[in-house]
Amino acid sequence: YPAEDYHQDYFKKNPTAGYCNFVIRPKLKKFKQYLQN
């Protein structure tokens, strides 16, 4: 099932939200480091 509209682009729309800073941002950092190797 497709996600509801308010879930789409959540990180882009809410970059300072706690969930983004403590969950998404560290995962993106780790993923980017993985891609560089």
Hey, where are the domains in the chain? 12-36
Band (37; pLDDT cuts 50, 70, 90)? confident
Q: What is the average per-residue pLDDT within 8-22?
A: 96
pLDDT at 22 over 90: yes
pLDDT for res 14: 95
Q: Cα(26)–Cα(15) distance, rounded to whole angstroms?
A: 13
Q: Cα(2)–Cα(19) distance, rounded to whole angstroms?
A: 21
pTM of the model: 0.71
Q: Calculate what percentage of the chain has a pLDDT beyond 70.
A: 100
Q: Cα(37)–Cα(20) distance, rounded to whole angstroms?
A: 25
